Structure 1
Amino acid sequence: MPLPDGNSINTAPLDEGEDTEPLIENDPVPPQCCSARLNLAFLMFCGFSVVYGLRVNLSVAMVAMVNTTDPEPAPNSSVISACPLPPEGDNSSDSFHQPAGIPQYPWDSETQGWLLGAFFFGYLCTQIPGGYLSGHYGGSIFLGVGVLGTAFLTLLTPLAAQMGSYWLFALRALEGFGEGVTFPAMMAMWARWAPPLERSRLMTLSGSGGNFGAFVALPLTGVICQALGWPAVFYLCGAAGCLWAVVWFIFVSDDPRTHPRISKEEKDYIIKSIGPQGTGHGWSVPLLSMSMSVPLWAIIITQMCSNWSYYTLLTSLPTYMDNVMHFDLKSNGLLSALPYFGAWLMSMLSGVVADSIIEREVFSITVVRKLFTLIGLLLQAAFLVAVSYAGCSHILAVTFLTLSTTLGGITASGVYINQIDIAPRYAGFLLGISNTFGTIPGVLAPIATGYFTEGHTMAGWRKVFWVAAGINVGGAIVYTIFGSAKIQPWAITEEERAETDKERSRSIST
């Protein structure tokens, strides 16, 4: 119910523990079409599409950058249980012949692995600082500089590769260092921009750019490598990132209060609906209370569990397509990208459905977040198990893998935006914390996959998918029991406490 003084028309009484967002009864809701908040979501979508293109392009370009992708193939005896080779299989290395004058390097598999993983060494370092500073100063500068810095460094990739693998490793780590601030900065901006009844759709639209970028970049990188040579991949992607940054800095503001082109109607609607939570958190944050928060730990653990399957597929799916299914490189790139297209569509659809359920007050926000997380993780786990029993059927394997990643996109409206529910003012900082923990599976999952698939057997890959599915189920159970969308006591502002005390006094007097 609205507070009597109308100060925060979307905020329920905090002492009652409610987590529903009542409809706005007195003020009209400005349309989203062509609004400043929708334009912001679209620009974020484009930015994260570029960012993920910059992140994954090396995984495909690496095939063209080295003389051979498997200098020491495993003996035939080690693949006894794997699928048989196609009767007239093409030599996959023929797919990426480079134009004359394009250099190639004699990097072995171990060197390639270090280069592909270098990004995460830097990515881990700036999540929490980026979230903290974005919550204090505003997120637009950090998101813009993060993408611009990563794009500029991408332009230097051919030069770094020519100087040696150590230089390229350092460059990729610096790219991860710059990109680490982007998602926390996004969350900090939506804490000031996203009305509670529109959070799911706005945040899933902007964040889904990552899946769309991966979907476009994986096959497009192969085409560019073949037509223009692998250096062109980094020049074109880097230029796209720099161009996006120019548009971002011209058209985006940290806060609706300072946006020069927003209508008064929309500005008032956003400010009133968010209330005091739509302000910066200052320099001090309640670290001790955060560390003891059960809902926050539920988010962290669940995101780690969900990311295990995500990073397993991100790092190992091309290998599975090659070693087990024996797809050629062109088909491999396209089929490896297909699940991300499904996840992009599903995440945006889940955002619209989640907001509709909340707006109609069918379920509380807590129930909606738990429901979308539970359904997404369990369905993803079920199809991962199905992949392990698809055998050598190309159609079944690709179908189950695509369905697994697609249905996992449902969680985009669940646990992955839950930080802004429990503590809007600290959402960027909390996302930095959960993303830091969530990146750990990116380091551990490939190691576990390598251990299970050492013999390149179907039984080994079955273990990979079963372990990922089991961890998914564990995350679903943890979040269903301990998750919450209620604003935590340590996140309540002094202004909100004062309003709650006034409301309690009025109730007692009447």
Structure 2
Amino acid sequence: MAPPNGYSINSSPVDESEDGEPLIERDAVPSQCCSARLNLAFLMFLGFAVVYGLRVNLSVAMVAMVNVTDPKPAPNSSIVHACPLPAGMDNTSDTFSQPDGIPQYPWDSETQGWLLGAFFFGYLCTQIPGGYLSGHYGGRLFFGLGVLGTAVLTLLTPLAAQMGIYWLFALRALEGFGEGVTFPTMMAMWARWAPPLERSRLMTLSGSGANFGAFLSLPLTGYICETLGWPAVFYLCGSAGCLWAFFWFVFVSDDPRTHRRISEEEKDYIISSIGPQGTGHGWSVPLLPILLSVPMWAIIICQMCSNWSYYTLLTSLPTYMNNILHFDLKSNGFLSALPYLGAWIASTLSGILADSLIERKVFSVTTVRKIFTLAGVLPGAAFLVAVGYSGCSHILTITFLTLSTTIGGTMACGVYINQIDIAPRYAGFLLGITNTFGTIPGVLAPIVTGYFTEEHTLAGWRMVFWLAAGLNVGGALVYTLFGTGKIQPWAVTEEEATEVEKNRSTSIVT
């Protein structure tokens, strides 16, 4: 059965044989202003801002939680700094004072790397189940509980740190377990809510909350650590997550069909433009065709490679600012946040531009996804390498890091939303698979960085940046060769297949 507007989900804005997108007349499109779909995007934006704040606060707080850079220096030796210390800074320790009664811990760089990577051990476990269940039931409950659960656990962080590193490691892994459902459920919800010609802007708006959360959390964490002590960071961030959950459960619905405040005009537009792909996929999924899909593996490889650099910076950049460049904790948080401000702006604007190119038939969906992926990776990798050769220049380091991450933000409307192009109905499940693979760098990158930078040298950090840039470029090239924006045969519903066959028979008779 074709949608009421007469257009099929498999019709392309460029050509009927091209990427599977519907063509909707612009005068039939309800305004996004104050719409239910835009409200959903805004609440998702805030949700991702919260969870990324919960995710990265340990990266900055770690600087205050650790009382020495290296708790076991060689006897009768002084610490050799890669860059000269600012005037007035102690020459033997990078210790940051805390208010009276606030504990600090003698964790070496290897221990810190394991603690920063602990989150991702749990994060790996719930990606696929979260995507699968949200694709069947809807994502509202899973997204909300994922954020709320992580927030509640964050409140217990100071207690876990006091009990020991194993307790803190387990707590961070549990936080990752709760937060792992968020991105797959987002994709599953947009499969039901996002009209195909608005996918890029709605999904990049909601997903850009991650960069905004990192931008906001990093400087605030530094400020709170120095004024109130590092435990306050986790109490405040956890409380913010609990408050957000209240608004989410009150105002969000799984499906436009069940939303209590949506207009009939908007509901009809969303349902008709998405068609049969906007329904749940049931209990069965075409697992074998998915695992044998070349476009699917192109997404997996590209996301794994690009996530290595993202997670390296997300978890280890504050340490680099402190141990190498010797910024004070407040400046550390603010300057670490600048790249994510740029990425937030770039991803939001690129989503608008990508939809415009598709809507105006300038490029096919496949071409748009590849253009924005390459545009984010190639210059971003070059600037990342340049960071390693900036030496002790604060200005050059911050400039190159900001440019690298800002430009990388354009990937948000490239490979990172490609799952909904190739299989809208299974988008949440696919994102669960790709994000599971994509989270492996989150586990490994902080650990590898800890090993490379154990001596706190510029050469060690240069290896970190070269590795991240090389993986980034390699993944983008794989995606350019094998990626696509066309809906895959195994993702076509029976209803759509019947409609296509009927149209083909009619054409032959005619």
TM range (shorter): over 0.9
Partners of 1:308 and 1:271 in 2: CA distance: 37
Q: Structure 2 vs 1, CA of residues 390 and 114 (structure 1 numbering), >3 Å: closer, same or farther? A: closer
**1:340 counterpart = 2:336:** no
Q: Secondary structure at the match of 1:222?
A: helix
Deviation at 1:364, TM superposition (A): 0.3
Deviation at 1:6, TM superposition (A): 3.9
How many equivalent residue pairs?
508
Deviation at 1:193, TM superposition (A): 0.2
What does residue 484 of structure 2 align with?
A: 484
Q: What is the identity percentage for the equivalent residue pairs of Structure 1 and Structure 2?
A: 80
The Cα offsets for residues 13-39 of structure 1, whole Å up to 9 and x where unpaired, read as 899642163541386100001000000
Q: Structure 2 vs 1, CA of residues 454 and 63 (structure 1 numbering), >3 Å: closer, same or farther? A: closer
Deviation at 1:461, TM superposition (A): 2.6
What does residue 51 of structure 1 align with?
A: 51
Determine if contact 1:146/1:181 at 8 Å carries over to the other structure: yes
Q: Which runs of 5+ in 2 are unaligned?
A: none
Partners of 2:230 and 2:88 in 1: CA distance: 28
Deviation at 1:355, TM superposition (A): 0.5
User: Structure 1 length normalisation: TM-score?
Assistant: 0.94
Corresponding letter in the other structure for 2:84 = P
Q: Structure 2 vs 1, CA of residues 4 and 440 (structure 1 numbering), >3 Å: closer, same or farther? A: closer
Determine if contact 2:22/2:273 at 8 Å carries over to the other structure: no
Partners of 1:72 and 1:457 in 2: CA distance: 17
Determine if contact 2:85/2:91 at 8 Å carries over to the other structure: no
Partners of 2:16 and 2:241 in 1: CA distance: 46
Deviation at 1:365, TM superposition (A): 0.3
Matches within 5 A, 1:133-144: 133-144=133-144
Determine if contact 1:20/1:358 at 8 Å carries over to the other structure: no
**1:247 counterpart = 2:247:** yes
**1:370 counterpart = 2:370:** yes
**1:173 counterpart = 2:139:** no
What does residue 349 of structure 2 align with?
A: 349
Deviates further, 225-234 or 194-203: 225-234
Determine if contact 2:120/2:176 at 8 Å carries over to the other structure: yes
What does residue 153 of structure 1 align with?
A: 153
Q: CA RMSD in A?
A: 2.5
Determine if contact 2:385/2:465 at 8 Å carries over to the other structure: yes
Deviation at 1:173, TM superposition (A): 1.2
What does residue 132 of structure 1 align with?
A: 132
**1:34 counterpart = 2:69:** no
Partners of 1:422 and 1:327 in 2: CA distance: 45
What does residue 472 of structure 1 align with?
A: 472
The Cα offsets for residues 32-84 of structure 1, whole Å up to 9 and x where unpaired, read as 0100000000000000100011111122223333433432357979958x333
Deviation at 1:210, TM superposition (A): 0.6
Q: Structure 2 vs 1, CA of residues 74 and 436 (structure 1 numbering), >3 Å: closer, same or farther? A: farther
Partners of 2:79 and 2:104 in 1: CA distance: 29
Partners of 2:339 and 2:247 in 1: CA distance: 30
Partners of 2:279 and 2:349 in 1: CA distance: 29
What does residue 11 of structure 2 align with?
A: 12
Matches within 5 A, 1:98-497: 98-497=98-497
Q: Which runs of 5+ in 1 are unaligned?
A: none
The Cα offsets for residues 118-171 of structure 1, whole Å up to 9 and x where unpaired, read as 211111110011101010000010000001111111122223233333222222
Q: Structure 2 vs 1, CA of residues 187 and 4 (structure 1 numbering), >3 Å: closer, same or farther? A: closer
The Cα offsets for residues 193-229 of structure 1, whole Å up to 9 and x where unpaired, read as 0000000000001001111111111110121222222
Partners of 2:40 and 2:270 in 1: CA distance: 13
Determine if contact 1:8/1:274 at 8 Å carries over to the other structure: no
Partners of 1:440 and 1:231 in 2: CA distance: 29
Partners of 1:105 and 1:147 in 2: CA distance: 28
Q: Secondary structure at the match of 2:261?
A: coil
Q: Structure 2 vs 1, CA of residues 91 and 214 (structure 1 numbering), >3 Å: closer, same or farther? A: farther
Partners of 1:508 and 1:392 in 2: CA distance: 71
Partners of 2:457 and 2:26 in 1: CA distance: 64
Partners of 2:205 and 2:315 in 1: CA distance: 25
Deviates further, 169-178 or 101-110: 101-110
Corresponding letter in the other structure for 1:160 = A
Partners of 2:157 and 2:443 in 1: CA distance: 23
User: Structure 2 length normalisation: TM-score?
Assistant: 0.94
Q: Structure 2 vs 1, CA of residues 424 and 51 (structure 1 numbering), >3 Å: closer, same or farther? A: same
The Cα offsets for residues 87-133 of structure 1, whole Å up to 9 and x where unpaired, read as 44357978853333333444444443332222111111100111010
Deviation at 1:294, TM superposition (A): 0.5
Deviation at 1:400, TM superposition (A): 0.6
